[in-house]
Amino acid sequence: MDIEFKLKQIEEEARHEKAMREFHSTHLDAHDSSIAAIQVILERTEKNIDALTIDVSALAVSQKHTDKMLQDLIALLTRENTNGKH
């Protein structure tokens, strides 16, 4: 009787150990999947930041060109206005 009880106890422990290993494995798989998804998001974010940096640089160049054109227009209008008064 004592041996049967011990045997059942050992079998129960073995089932519990197996269930815990399966749970741990599932948990690790989910963790690995999460890490992979985060990596994809980080890569996309880096690409978006690179594209945004290029866009901002292009916008800065365009803004400088616009500023120059505006200054030229103001200078032209000032000259025309000054020439018209004399």
**Cα(38)–Cα(57) distance, rounded to whole angstroms?**
28
Torsion of the alpha carbons at 8, 11, 12 and 17, rounded to the nearest 10: 160
Q: What is the pLDDT of residues 16-25, one digit of tens each?
A: 999 999 999 9
Residue for token pair 């292009």: 58
**Which DSSP letter does residue 86 get?**
-
**Cα(85)–Cα(78) distance, rounded to whole angstroms?**
11
Q: What is the pLDDT of residues 45-59, one digit of tens each?
A: 999 999 999 999 999
**Cα(65)–Cα(70) distance, rounded to whole angstroms?**
9
Q: What is the pLDDT of residues 30-48, one digit of tens each?
A: 999 999 999 999 999 999 9
Binned at pLDDT 50, 70 and 90, residue 28 comes out as: very high
